[in-house]
Amino acid sequence: MVNFKRQNKQNKKKDTQILNKNWWENNPMSYDWENRNNYEKFSIEWFNYIDNNFIRDSNIYHSAFSKIPFDQFIQYSSINDKDILEIGCGYGFHTEMILKNSKPKNYTAVDITTEAIEATKKRLKLKNIIFQNVNLINADAENLPLKDESLDFIWSWGVIHHSLNTEKIINEIFRTLKKNGKFRIMIYNKNSFRYYILGIFRGIFKLKFLKKNLQEINMEYTDGYYARHFTHKEVKNLFNKSNLKITKIKNLQDALLIPFPGARIICKIKIFKKISDFIMKRYGWFLYFEGEK
């Protein structure tokens, strides 16, 4: 399991987003945990390596019939001719998937890093996905450079919890969505196996409780300069305050196996795989929700 290094000193809120941006510029989400991607950066082979790793770990999110990634969450045909925003495009996998499987009226993707915007532009060019209506912007989701009530659909996968002021992003979602506009979002789940069981295990057996609380312990194993975890109730309360309605919310199995060392070997035995799936489907690290304005 990856141990992320970051400053332990508490910084003022006004500095956090700068530190957050710098962290992601230096530690982009490449899904290359073992540093085996030796292809030329931003080459077609380099992107394919990243995508194969990501799809391998997220194949539970597409239906066996279609095999289109994330079609359990994005009804691609329903967003045709819509004004769409993606918050946090990273290296552009979701951008590619949406543009390949739908025909949006306008598509905007924002990311806090210049690295992500450059990568996504090169990805789309390499894949010959060229549209006049695609706009990729280096911007902070806390201050979206978009007009009021200009969007029909907002998609974000594992991003907005990395802001210290997630509430401000939620307000921006409300501001930019049209009436009856919809959103689909994934964030980190506080009521998860990873947060409590692994966090307490590390706190006790690695003596981390001597210096840190549970949130700080989890941060050592969580990507991003900062990462918040939310419960179902907290999500509903936050969005209700911004006059946004949550229509569906559930825990997701964030990986195929319980995140313990050696799990992939142990779970080759069917009974242990079934136990792992049973736990992770109920107490997975991802919290997914849908809603509308």
Work out the pLDDT band at 288, boundaries 50, 70, 90.
Answer: very high
Provide mean pLDDT across the span 119-143: 94
pLDDT at 2 over 60: no
CA 46 from centre of chain: 21
pLDDT for 67 equals 80
Provide mean pLDDT across the span 227-237: 96
CA 75 from centre of chain: 18
What pLDDT digit, counting tens, does each position of 239-258 carry? Answer: 999 999 999 999 998 877 88
Contacts of 171 (CB under 8 A, 6+ apart): 242
pLDDT for 13 equals 53
Q: Return the domain boundaries, the chain.
A: 41-62+71-190+227-254
pLDDT for 259 equals 81
What pLDDT digit, counting tens, does each position of 20-66 carry? Answer: 999 999 999 998 877 899 999 999 999 999 999 998 888 889 887 88
Q: In angstroms, rounded to a whole number, what is the distance separating the alpha carbons of residues 213 and 215?
A: 6
Pull the structure tokens for residue 81.
């001719």
Pull the structure tokens for residue 246.
């949550």
Mean pLDDT of the chain: 91
Q: In angstroms, rounded to a whole number, what is the distance separating the alpha carbons of residues 253 and 186?
A: 12
pLDDT for 14 equals 56
pLDDT for 6 equals 54
pLDDT for 93 equals 97
Least confident of 30-34, 48-52, 93-97, 108-112: 30-34
Cβ atoms within 10 Å, residue 77: 10
Pull the structure tokens for residue 58.
């997220």
pLDDT for 236 equals 97
Cβ atoms within 10 Å, residue 101: 17
pLDDT at 8 over 50: no
pLDDT at 233 over 80: yes
Pull the structure tokens for residue 42.
């931003």
Provide mean pLDDT across the span 217-224: 89
pLDDT for 1 equals 44
Provide mean pLDDT across the span 207-226: 90
pLDDT at 85 over 60: yes
What pLDDT digit, counting tens, does each position of 138-183 carry? Answer: 999 999 999 999 999 999 999 999 998 999 999 999 999 999 999 9
- Reported CATH class of domain 41-62+71-190+227-254: alpha beta
Q: What per-residue string of b and e applies to 20-38 under the rule 16 or more CB within 10 Å gives b?
A: bbebbeebbbbbeeeeebe
What pLDDT digit, counting tens, does each position of 175-196 carry? Answer: 999 999 999 999 999 999 999 9
pLDDT for 75 equals 92
Instruction: Tell which wins on pLDDT, 9 or 133.
Output: 133
Work out the pLDDT band at 268, boundaries 50, 70, 90.
Answer: confident
Provide mean pLDDT across the span 220-237: 93
76 in Cβ contact with 101 (< 8 Å): yes
End-to-end alpha carbon distance in the chain: 39
Least confident of 4-13, 135-144, 197-206: 4-13
SS3 151: strand
